[in-house]
């Protein structure tokens, strides 16, 4: 019978059927791809301006390294992340909505810091929504690291740099007389017998402070085994950077007084910045070694 033959042929060569799980997986990937595309549309202008600032602002030239370091942190924890059960949660949705609102306010209010920070909030909200709070906790350090790549708003930046200028100039003006160079200190100006030295914003030490703090965070992650030590190492970078900047100003003052003011403010000032930064890195290593000697700890998982 023709019907029997056709039925037998169908049984021998059944048509492939799309399983519900396969269709669901494809739908999931389409959803994720759509979200990624939407993020690109929302943030591509913000990202372009941020990269431009990394190029043009010496204080934040380290920003190029931060995304790669954050990506490495995620890759380094990949085995731990694979063991975390995925539990989608609606609790992340309000954070996503808040992040988009912050982005809109930042863009229309021309507040770069706000619009850039909204990206980190958005990533946190999306991870919470699609993967659960446990995943957010596991990824909290890579998310926090991204903050290091975002330049501070001008009002906060000035609140940091000016006190650093005053502190560095005051300490340098106290040290120079001990080395035989009389000084008169007024604000961020150090008056020497030969000329006046002005500790400008570029000489406040904020550049080396930001870079050294970022490197201390990286260094602590790789070489320290406890969060307490990592925090101590990161905080130690602040007085180290300030001391290095003071030493640079003192060295410049000595060169102005006993050598050549033009060369002191030119070649020596630029070259000494690199030298003091290398010395600062060495000091970070000494802090790391001192903590090991004072209180050795056994290796623990990150």
Residue 2 pLDDT = 47
Report d(CA 131, CA 97) in Å as an integer.
Answer: 17
Each domain of the chain, given as residue ranges in start order, spans 22-151, 155-294
Q: What is the pLDDT of residue 67?
A: 92
Of 123, 26, 142, the closest CA to residue 73 belongs to: 142
Under a CB-based contact definition with an 8 Å cutoff, are residues 170 and 177 in contact? no
pLDDT in tens, the chain (302 residues): 444 444 444 444 444 444 445 555 565 677 778 888 988 988 999 999 999 999 888 778 888 889 999 999 999 999 999 999 988 889 999 999 999 999 998 888 777 889 999 999 999 999 999 999 999 999 999 999 999 999 888 778 778 887 888 888 888 888 888 888 787 777 777 777 777 777 766 666 677 788 889 889 988 888 888 888 999 999 999 899 888 888 888 888 788 777 766 666 666 667 777 788 888 889 999 998 888 888 776 655 44
User: Residue 82, Cβ neighbours under 10 Å: how many?
Assistant: 7
- Distance, in Å, from the CA atom of 214 to the CA atom of 273, rounded to the nearest integer, reads 17
Query: Are 188 and 263 contacting, i.e. CB atoms less than 8 angstroms apart?
Result: no
pLDDT score at 250: 84
pLDDT, residue 1, reads: 44
Report d(CA 222, CA 141) in Å as an integer.
Answer: 13
How many distinct helices (H) and strands (E) make up the chain?
A: 13, 3
Backbone angles phi, psi at 191, to 5 degrees: -95, 120
């Amino acid at each position: 019978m023709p019907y029997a033959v056709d039925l037998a042929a169908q049984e021998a060569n059944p048509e492939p059927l799309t399983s519900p799980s396969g269709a669901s997986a494809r739908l999931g990937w389409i959803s994720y791809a759509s979200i990624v595309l939407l993020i690109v549309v929302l943030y591509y202008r913000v990202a372009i301006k941020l990269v431009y600032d990394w190029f043009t602002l010496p204080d934040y030239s380290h920003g190029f390294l931060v995304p790669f370091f954050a990506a490495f942190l995620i890759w380094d924890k990949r085995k731990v992340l694979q063991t975390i059960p995925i539990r989608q949660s609606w609790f992340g949705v309000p954070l996503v909505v808040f992040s988009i609102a912050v982005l809109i306010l930042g863009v229309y209010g021309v507040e770069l810091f706000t619009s850039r920070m909204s990206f980190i909030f958005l990533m946190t909200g999306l991870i919470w929504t699609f993967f659960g709070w446990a995943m957010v906790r596991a990824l909290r350090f890579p998310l926090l690291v991204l903050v290091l790549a975002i330049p501070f708003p001008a009002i906060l930046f000035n609140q940091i740099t000016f006190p650093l200028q005053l502190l560095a100039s005051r300490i340098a003006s106290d040290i120079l007389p001990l080395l035989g160079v009389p000084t008169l200190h007024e604000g961020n100006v150090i008056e020497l017998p030969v000329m006046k030295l002005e500790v400008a914003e570029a000489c406040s030490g904020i550049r080396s402070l930001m870079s050294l703090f970022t490197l201390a965070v990286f260094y602590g992650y790789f070489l320290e085994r406890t969060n307490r030590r990592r925090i101590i190492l990161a905080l130690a970078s602040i007085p180290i950077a300030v001391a290095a900047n003071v030493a640079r100003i003192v060295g410049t003052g000595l060169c102005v007084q006993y050598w050549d003011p033009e060369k002191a403010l030119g070649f020596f000032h630029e070259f000494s910045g690199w030298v003091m930064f290398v010395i600062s890195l060495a000091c970070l290593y000494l802090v790391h070694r001192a903590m090991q000697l004072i209180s050795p700890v056994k290796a623990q998982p990150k």
